[in-house]
Amino acid sequence: MSTIFLAVIIGASFGAVLDRVGATSPNYIGKMLNLTNLHLAKAILLAIGVGSVLMFGGQMAGLVDVGHMSVKTAYMGVFLGGLMLGVGWAASGYCPGTGLAAAASGRRDALVYAAGGLLGAAAYMLTYPMWKTAGLLTGKALTLGAVPGAEYDALVPGVSGDLAGILVGVALIVTAYVLPDRIISSPTTAPAE
Amino acid sequence: MILNWKLGGLALGLVFFAAVLLVKPIGVSTQFVILDGILWNAVNPEVVTQTTDGAYTSTNAYLAKSGGKYAKSIANPLNYSFVFVLAMMLGAFASSWLRNGVPASEKLMPAIWRNNYGDSTAKRFAIAFASGFVVLYGARLAGGCTSGHMMSGMMQTAISGYIFAAGAFAAAVPTAVLMFTKEA
């Protein structure tokens, strides 16, 4: 039961913070992806960096259970699926988590998005054997360096996975600070008719 | 009402850390499959079955994979990951309610969409539905979404997380730059 209690606390915090950081608004997502307002990109980079430094630092200090790590397998379908997700993410302004959170926050188009998502997930359930047969789902779960106590292989063996994680985390935090507020400087005018 | 990126990013990072400290990294998109499975199994109870040794399996190869872990979650919806997503929605609802909700002009479509494509609800809903479809299809093919791969994956220096982020942004940035030429 205590894990259910944690699910409620951590889940509710995640949803509330997503909303407060602007991630439930397709306006912020759209302006991040068309490079006119990088507020959300900075927030996400900072968040990943902070999470990384705390997690790997905690693991080095023995305060965080390495067994809680959950590294996914890297395979061809990860990139292809990422491309597909990217198109729909940009067109709608919603990813799976923020779409559900936005629907809960009162956005009706997000509810429609979630319905499409249920159908898309069902379509994948039915076509999964095809991808598996094509060999696009096989790969390895890798981390950058070797993380002590974790069973994952390292991309660069011999490198401390904990130190690598802290360094990458710091790099992400620095990136969040140095990233400009916008990359495309002025709204491009619509093409002439 | 929207937190600045430093405060918002710090808060989000602390939530990521709390999740991996206490339970496991955050992820969302699997739960679309679990809800599909719950609905499917409600219509046809033969979809998810329990074998004599107590393990769960399914007539669907995807739900039966990895020792039937999806089948097990479908049979027991009161599990951490599913409740996590429900709670996420509750948290977003509460946060939105406390800031007086989504403005009326934003309820059917966001300003960025209206400024580029006009007022048609049908058009916006059609794109939203199609987007949901490709996003979740893609997320399941990739084995995770923005939460599981990009946020949790990159936090753990998972190579799969970097590959996913590269693919997602390689498609998302050109799409958004081409589709949304007028700002919100």
Answer whether B115 touches A (CB < 8 Å).
no
pLDDT given at position A193: 43
Contact A106 B184 (CB under 8 A): no
CA distance readout (Å), B17 to A58, A129, B27, B167: 10, 35, 13, 25
Answer whether B131 touches A (CB < 8 Å).
yes
State the best of B21, B26, B44, B135 to mutate against chain A, taking most chain A CBs within 10 Å: B135
pLDDT given at position B182: 87
Q: Which residues contact A23 (CB under 8 A, 6 or more apart)?
A: A29, A40, A98, A101
Q: How far apart are CA B5 and CA A100, in angstroms?
A: 22
**Domains of chain A, residue spans:** 15-178
Per-residue pLDDT band for B183 (boundaries 50, 70, 90) equals confident
Q: Is the pLDDT of residue B131 over 80?
A: yes
pLDDT given at position B29: 96
**Domains of chain B, residue spans:** 11-101, 107-184
- Residue B125 token pair: 């809903």
Taking 70 as the pLDDT cut, the residues of chain A under it are 1, 186-193
Contact A44 B129 (CB under 8 A): no
Query: Which of 35-94 (A) contact B at CB < 8 A?
Result: 35-36, 39-40, 42-52, 54-55, 58, 64-65, 68-75, 77-94
* Mean of per-residue pLDDT scores for chain B: 96
Mean pLDDT computed over B71-94: 97
